[in-house]
Amino acid sequence: MQKGLKLTDILVTIIIALIFSVIYKLWGPLYGIVSTFGIQLEQLIYGMWFIAATVAYLIIRKPGVALLAEVAAANGEFIFGGEWGVATLVFGLGQGLAAELVFMAFRYKRYDVMTVSLAAVASGIASIFIDYYYSYIGDLALWNLFLMIGFRLTGSILIAGLFAYFIVQALEKTQVTNLVRPASSDDYKALD
């Protein structure tokens, strides 16, 4: 296998990331509306901001894709004038790195719902870690803090884990994923 990402991989990853960055941008106002309810309900939809990494990884299945996708999506949101401004870049980097580390721990060989959900949770934990400095969440009342962490991780499993997995499964039926995935051992067996 050729080392590193080829131009095709990068271009496909970035276009996926940019589609999600448009969604990320639209997600901002929705997040704002939900958060007026107060009791951390908005955290349930926070997981959408981790989805670029998992979807891109599931489609292309190569090292580095998850990180590139999340960073590119954050960059896109930043360039399109996302409400969180510069903070987006830092969060994107952290979340992408966390997801990438999980995939690396499985040596880029597992593409099941478990792995993806773990990556989503890792992204969630990374975002909470950054939020510790960014939003003083350590100074929230304890029940509120637990509610927030619980909601955020649940939301990330649901959206960036399960939804991402099902989207890519549906996408596989269109055969489009065969364009960009590296040949697997099954493909070689089919030749014999």
Partner 1 sequence: MQMDFSYRETWLHKINPSLKLLVVVILFIHILSINNINFIITYTVGALVLYMCCTGHSSKNLFLISIPFLFIFLTSSTSMIFFGKGDVTWFKWGLIDITEESFFRGLHLGFRGILFAILGIVFSLTTRPVLLFYSLMQQVKLKPKFAYSFMAAVRLIPIIVEEMQTLRYALKVRGVEGQKGILGFYNKLTAYSIPLLSQSIRRAHRIAVAMEAKRFSDSTYRTYYYKIGFSKFDVLFVLYFILVIVVSYFTSIYLPYFSIQDVRYFN
Show contacts with partner 1 in window 85-144 (CB under 8 A): 85-90, 133-136, 139-141, 143-144
CA pair distance 115, 122, nearest whole angstrom: 10
Q: How many residues bind partner 1 (CB under 8 A)?
A: 65
- Shortest Cβ 99–partner 1 spacing (Å): 18
Pick one of 146, 150, 166, 187: the residue that binds partner 1 (CB under 8 A).
166
Give yes or no for residue 78 binding partner 1 (CB under 8 A).
yes
Give yes or no for residue 80 binding partner 1 (CB under 8 A).
yes
Give yes or no for residue 179 binding partner 1 (CB under 8 A).
yes
Element (H, E) at 113: helix 113-134
Give yes or no for residue 27 binding partner 1 (CB under 8 A).
no
CA angle (77, 82, 87) in 5-degree steps: 85
Burial class (CB in 10 A: 0-12, 13-18, 19+), 158: middle
Evaluate whether 119 touches 57 at the Cβ level (below 8 Å). yes
Scanning 13-21, 101-109, 116-124, 183-191 for contacts with partner 1 by CB under 8 A, the matching segment is 13-21
Burial class (CB in 10 A: 0-12, 13-18, 19+), 178: exposed
Phi-psi region of 5 (alpha: psi -120 to 50; beta: other; left: phi over 0): beta
Rule CB under 8 A: which residues touch partner 1? 6-8, 10-19, 22, 28-29, 31-33, 35-36, 38-40, 42, 55, 59, 68, 72, 75-76, 78-90, 133-136, 139-141, 143-144, 148, 158, 163, 166-167, 170-171, 174, 176-177, 179-180
